[in-house]
Amino acid sequence: MDYCRKQVKSDCEELLSRFQQTESVRFEVFSKIWREMNFSHIFYGAVKREKRAFSRLVLDSAYSFFLPPFSFQIRVGGLYLLYGLYQCQTASPPEQIRLALKDWDDVKKFEKDALDAQHYDTVYIFRKLMSLKAFHFTAMPTLLAYQKKRKVERSALCEEFVERASRPQELINIELLEELSNIHGLYEKLKTSVSSMSEQADSSLNLTHKDLVPQLRSTVVHFYNWQQRKVEAARADR
């Protein structure tokens, strides 16, 4: 069954890539793309004895897009993808979505973020899956079994789906820079008053860079501009 894992992942990435281009998180937008691609047909090729194993593979592949480090929009698309696949699978009773306990905090934070942003269709789909008992809560992400050791092939993340780092911009804001500038000014005045009492300034008092605030701001701006150039280059290559 592993022979078709790459193809399933590729199909999921194609659907989510089209969804990403819409810059939307609406379920109706996702549903339109789902129908255009006839994505429910993904289960039609599985023979009877492979239906459950294939459903497991498909759900596991889609589940990875529901978790960090992917962007919020891709995670929304991953949730919608799980919902569509769970409802359309041909296995009976339906195969559940395996959800490791270590991922539960990320899932609940995702639900809260969607609710705070008033993405009610996203919250509805998640709670609908919960009401259907679609999730199978497990200790580990994958099933553990005693078997011969083998090299596990890890699939590469789609870089276009990964959320861009934004913590530097969030942490180093205007208010923080102003506060740092005030503290730095007070420190310099205190250092000057202490130094004037002695014959010469003690080098141990030079605990900060003179241009700390401008350098910090310049570094964050440089990082942001680099991010923007990288995004624009990626769009140009499409």
Which pTM was predicted?
0.68
Residue carrying structure tokens 């639900």: 111
Residue 214 has a pLDDT of: 80
Residue 167 has a pLDDT of: 56
Whether residue 44 is predicted with pLDDT greater than 70 in this model: the reply is yes
Reported as a single tens digit per residue, the pLDDT across 58-73 is 999 999 999 988 999 9
What's the length of the chain? 238
Residue 165 has a pLDDT of: 55
Q: With bands split at pLDDT 50, 70 and 90, how would you rate the model's confidence at 50?
A: confident
The residue-averaged pLDDT of 153-164 equals: 64
Rounded to whole angstroms, how far apart are CA atoms 48 and 90? 9
The residue-averaged pLDDT of 70-99 equals: 94
Cβ atoms 123, 76 nearer than 8 A: no
The residue-averaged pLDDT of 168-174 equals: 66
Q: Smallest Cα–Cα separation from 69: which of 153, 140, 184, 166?
A: 166
Residue 32 has a pLDDT of: 97
Percent of the chain with pLDDT over 70: 75
Residue 46 has a pLDDT of: 74
Residue 168 has a pLDDT of: 64
Q: With bands split at pLDDT 50, 70 and 90, how would you rate the model's confidence at 161?
A: low
Cβ neighbours, 10 Å, residue 203: 6
Percent of the chain with pLDDT over 90: 47
Angle CA 214–219–225, to nearest 5: 125
Whether residue 204 is predicted with pLDDT greater than 70 in this model: the reply is no
Rounded to whole angstroms, how far apart are CA atoms 178 and 175? 5
142 versus 234: the higher-pLDDT residue is 142
The residue-averaged pLDDT of 130-156 equals: 74
Q: With bands split at pLDDT 50, 70 and 90, how would you rate the model's confidence at 219?
A: confident
